Amino acid sequence: MIQALQAVRGMNDILPDEAEAWEHFEDIVRDWLRSYGYRPIRMPIVEPTPLFKRAIGEVTDIVEKEMYSFEDALNGEQLTLRPEGTASCVRAAIQHKMLSAGAQRLYYHGPMFRHERPQKGRYRQFHQIGVEALGFDGPDIDAEHILMCARLWDDLGLEDVKLELNSLGSPDERARHRAELVAYLEGHRERLDDDGKRRLHTNPLRILDTKNPELQDLVDNAPRLLDFLGEDSLKHFNGVQVLLKDAGVSYRINHRLVRGLDYYNRTVFEWVTTRLGAQGTVCAGGRYDSLVEQLGGRPAPAAGFAMGIERLLALWREGGGEAEPAQPDVYVVNLGEQAQRLAFRAAEALRGHGFAVLTHCGGGSFKSQMKKADASGAPIAVVIGDDEAATGEVGLKPLRGPGGQQRVALDGLANAVAECLFTENEEEDGSL
Ligand code: ATP
Ligand code: MG
């Protein structure tokens, strides 16, 4: 036998049971985004590599070691499977001059690729929903993003998702903090791990979010960014907090929250849960006022966030969230050539009236077809044999309620099905 091939490690198939839950989740998410006035945008999955180097930063986990980059064999162009969506979204907004029409509230969703060590909640192809607000400079939009998340957790019935908040200030403020931070870390150089030593002069801020347990007290006592913020940054940060308090959203200021991407400034936040083990961050974002300019656009402030769909779904499932399996309204049983032709007409007619219909395909005895009809979960079978075909009528058989099979003409079928579904629902409600 030929050996079967497997999917790439860390890249998952999402099989129908699970994919139905994804679709249900995506429906909720779409309604939620619309209710805040965000509009969809779809970007390519492959982008020029320099886009991510410029946007995310050369000295970041993503660019240093997680990108799927390759050379286009035909023209030598350096390309990368997108590791996140913000850079592409901003690139698209600049390319299509979207900001000349005013500020934009946008969202996208889809697969992202990072070459990480696969484990629960961490994959090489994973999915994000990303939200970006381009052209907004106030704390109001930052607060809107956080309130949006809180509402989504509520819509999904998620519990135990907590908000962590920090401000990274402006580049100047960060530079002053950085000098003090480097001096402090230099003083404890012998305690730093390899990563820390390497980052000390390239990206010392990232040392603050180390997960190494031996460094926790060292970074806890490091100089705090918040102490370096000037009046404007403090006012902005305060503005966000006032709106959060008004909305009753509680949070914790986490002085070590610095985010892994270089483009952030001022407000940054993460939503974390303790229910998913080590991979507990379900959503992260913040403000990135210099990115548009950095990618060649006219300067425009912006803020956004992204959530990990796999992690959110795991949490949703854990709290009992489940999608109803998709069931047809009608299963069409047919035996014989004429019957099959009538079955196709009947099924199409019903679909034309908005019913979900499974037509039996592949032949088989009447008995085996009826078994399939039962197993499909459909409440009604339409039964067509040679008798029915000869008269142009079909049999209508309720599969759950009492009632026996009745004959109906094709042009009265949709009404009869509607009536039958209605009676079944009445009976189900009555028995509750
Ligand atoms: P982490 O610290 O877990 O690596 P991150 O800071 O790299 O996360 P972001 O780039 O901010 O993550 O992406 C936003 C969200 O996307 C994360 O909060 C998480 O929910 C999800 N996410 C990121 N990387 C992965 C991955 N490899 N597999 C699954 N989900 C992921
Ligand atoms: Mg990461």
What is the DSSP secondary-structure string of 48-82?
EHHHHHHHH-SSSHIIIII-EEEE-TTT--EEEE-
Q: Which residue's CA is minimally distant from atom 21 of ligand 1?
A: 308
Write out the DSSP string of 265-331.
EEEEEEEE-STTTT--EEEEEEE-TTHHHHTTSPP--EEEEEEEHHHHHHHHHHTT--PPPP--SEE
CB-side neighbour CA atoms (13 Å) of 89: 29
* CA diameter of the chain: 94
> Strand 68-71's sheet: what is its strand order?
46-48, 78-81, 68-71
Look at residue 407 and give its three-state secondary structure. strand
For a substitution probing ligand 1, which of 279, 312, 315 has the most ligand atoms within 8 Å of its CB?
Answer: 279
Inter-residue contact 272 to 121 (CB < 8 Å) = no
Q: Which residue's CA is minimally distant from atom 6 of ligand 1?
A: 260
From 296, 318, 340, give the residue that closes a domain: 318
Write out the DSSP string of 167-220.
E---HHHHHHHHHHHHHHHHHTGGG--HHHHHHTTT-GGGGGG---GGGHHHHH
For a substitution probing ligand 1, which of 128, 272, 283 has the most ligand atoms within 8 Å of its CB?
Answer: 128
Residues 147 and 94 in one domain: yes
From 290, 318, 346, give the residue that closes a domain: 318
C-alpha–C-alpha distance, residues 71 and 55, integer Å = 20
Residue 212 lies in a domain: no
C-alpha–C-alpha distance, residues 394 and 374, integer Å = 18
Residue 158 lies in a domain: yes
Number of domains in the chain: 2
C-alpha–C-alpha distance, residues 183 and 380, integer Å = 75
C-alpha–C-alpha distance, residues 272 and 274, integer Å = 7
- AA identity, residue 224: R
How far is ligand 2, taken at its centre, from the CA of residue 410, in Å? 58
Ligand nearest the Cα of residue 85 is 1
Residue 95 lies in a domain: yes
C-alpha–C-alpha distance, residues 182 and 207, integer Å = 10
Look at residue 7 and give its three-state secondary structure. coil
Contact 178 CB / ligand 1 (< 6 Å): no
Inter-residue contact 377 to 328 (CB < 8 Å) = yes
How far is ligand 2, taken at its centre, from the CA of residue 116, in Å? 8
C-alpha–C-alpha distance, residues 399 and 403, integer Å = 9
User: Which pLDDT score is estimated for 278?
Assistant: 85
Residue 364 belongs to domain with CATH number: 3.40.50.800
Q: Is 4 exposed, middle or buried (0-12, 13-18, 19+ CB in 10 A)?
A: exposed
Containing structural domain, residue 124: 16-169+229-318
Mean pLDDT per 10-residue section of the chain, whose length is 432 residues:
95 94 92 97 98 90 93 96 97 98 97 96 97 98 98 92 96 92 92 89 87 90 94 97 97 89 88 90 96 96 97 89 83 95 96 97 95 95 92 92 87 94 74 48
Residue 50 belongs to domain with CATH number: 3.30.930.10
Residue 246 lies in a domain: yes
Q: Which residues contact 31 (CB under 8 A, 6 or more apart)?
A: none
Residue 227 carries which DSSP code? Answer: G
Residue 200 lies in a domain: no
User: Which pLDDT score is estimated for 223?
Assistant: 94
From 318, 340, 367, give the residue that closes a domain: 318
Phi–psi pair at 16, nearest 5 degrees: -50, -45
Residues 78 and 131 in one domain: yes
CB-side neighbour CA atoms (13 Å) of 10: 16
Helix-strand-coil percent breakdown of the chain, rounded to 5? 45, 20, 35
Contact 281 CB / ligand 1 (< 6 Å): yes
Residue 206 lies in a domain: no
Residues 32 and 163 in one domain: yes
Contact 408 CB / ligand 1 (< 6 Å): no
Residues 125 and 251 in one domain: yes
Beta strands in 309-401 (DSSP E): 330-334, 357-359, 380-384, 393-398
Query: Are β-strands 380-384 and 330-334 bridged in parallel, bridged antiparallel, or unpaired?
Result: parallel
How far is ligand 2, taken at its centre, from the CA of residue 123, in Å? 10
Atom of ligand 1 nearest to the CA of 83: 10
Residues 110 and 162 in one domain: yes
Residue 341 lies in a domain: yes
C-alpha–C-alpha distance, residues 287 and 142, integer Å = 7
Residues 270 and 310 in one domain: yes
Residues 26 and 91 in one domain: yes
Residue 211 lies in a domain: no
Residues 87 and 142 in one domain: yes
Residues 306 and 334 in one domain: no
Q: Distance of alpha carbon 20 from its chain centroid, rounded?
A: 14
Residues 60 and 103 in one domain: yes
Residues 336 and 309 in one domain: no
Q: Is 382 exposed, middle or buried (0-12, 13-18, 19+ CB in 10 A)?
A: buried
Ligand nearest the Cα of residue 82 is 1
Residues 265 and 406 in one domain: no
Phi–psi pair at 349, nearest 5 degrees: -60, -45
